[in-house]
Amino acid sequence: MMALTQPAKDMLQSYHYTGAEKGAHLLVLGAIHGDEPCGTIAIHAMMKALNRKTLTLKKGSITFVPQCNPLAAAGKQAGMGEGVSSARYINHNLNRIIGHYDGAARINAEHAYADQVASFIDGCDKLLDIHSFHTDGPPFVFEDYETQDVQSLALATGLRDIVVGWPALYGAATENDTVGYACARKKPAILIECGQHNDPESIGVAYRVIHNVLVNFGYIDAPMLDAAPAPRRIRVQDMTIKTKHGGFTKPYTHLSPITKGEVLAAYSDGHTVSAPYDGFIIMPAHHAAIGDEWFYTGTLLP
């Protein structure tokens, strides 16, 4: 059974499905960032399958929020891969301000969105937050909190690559993003990066991730879709900030393998940055500005 919440001004549209049997409440979020449409499209495809009874929700409940920042997303939904411009956010990065805002603290629409997303998370038992990223490379899961419940959720996606260690890299956990807010409240949560923003394949990845989680946790009876035979876990170890003009020595993509001592980037003054160990380069930003995060490196866990 589906229930629709109709939005008023600055209100997010949500869709709620309830199975015949009791079970956990799953929350699926799309388009926290306006330039990441794959989650929105995949969520609507999954809802179509449930509405048409191609898939049947047998237990538990699911809340879908296809578009968490509709103002930012408005310019993107005209198409993918066609150079359609959009904003990642309008005034605030929504995934840095998740929480409750009342009265004077609610300055603009993104505070209203952040407040509603927090309320959706308050009401769920587990969370999938669907994203895409700026560079080329394979899809992956951010497993920020290495508890058994979070690990089970990450493995349920069927994706090969699971990146761990992100909060430790920044020195502290935060409650101001979706995953941090959920995990601080003892709710298993993961963020899935489904591929490059404008790659149509990211939509299929997002759909398969949602489908596979529903299968693995018994929400639906169906076979898994394209699950990786042997997932690998990669711990992010280091971050490099771009401090002056320079560029990469190769056209690195996300999770390109690197070897210890390999020169990864060179500054225009001749200084270089080399790989500190055998491992992977993570989310290289080829167009990073001076002062921005340039790339990360990490190692394969046994």
Number of H helices, E strands in the chain: 7, 15
pLDDT at residue 84 is higher than 60: no
List the domain boundaries for the chain. Answer: 2-216, 237-300
Strand partners, 233: 162
Q: Is the pTM of this model over 0.85?
A: yes
For 2-216, which CATH superfamily applies?
Zn peptidases (3.40.630.10)
Q: Which two tokens stand for residue 114?
A: 């952040």
Q: Is the pLDDT of residue 80 over 70?
A: no
For residues 105 and 1, the model is more confident at 105
Give dist(CA 189, CA 130) in Å, integer.
11
Q: What mean pLDDT is predicted for residues 16-37?
A: 96
* Strands laid side by side in the 161-164 sheet: 2-5, 14-18, 59-65, 21-29, 126-133, 189-196, 140-143, 161-164, 232-241, 293-300, 279-282, 256-258
When the pLDDT of each residue in the chain is averaged and rounded to a whole number, the result is: 91
Q: How much is the average pLDDT of 269-281? A: 97
43: nearest Cα among 65, 60, 62, 61: 65
CATH number for the 237-300 domain, one of 3.40.50.720, 2.40.50.100, 2.130.10.10, 3.90.800.10? 2.40.50.100
* Per-residue confidence band for 107, with pLDDT thresholds at 50, 70 and 90: confident
245 vs 105, higher pLDDT: 245
Question: What percent of the chain is predicted at pLDDT more than 90?
Answer: 79
How far, in Å, CA of 185 to CA of 69, rounded?
A: 23
Indicate whether 70 pLDDT > 60.
yes
Q: Looking at residue 8, what is its pLDDT?
A: 52
The pLDDT assigned to 127 comes to 98
Which residues of 39-82 form beta strands (DSSP E)?
59-65
Q: How many Cβ atoms are within 10 Å of 240's Cβ, its own excluded? A: 17
User: How is residue 105 written in tokens?
Assistant: 């603290």
What's the number of CA atoms in the CB half-sphere (13 Å) around residue 188?
17
- The DSSP 8-state label assigned to residue 238 in this structure reads E
pLDDT band for position 3 (cuts 50, 70, 90): low
How far is 99 from 96, CA to CA, in rounded Å? 9
Residue that has been written with the tokens 């260690």 in this structure: 165
Cβ pair 187, 147 in contact under 8 A: no
Q: What is the mean pLDDT of residues 74-78?
A: 54
* CA–CA gap between residue 63 and residue 19 (Å, rounded): 12
Q: What is the mean pLDDT of residues 142-155?
A: 95
The whole-number pLDDT of residue 118 equals: 98
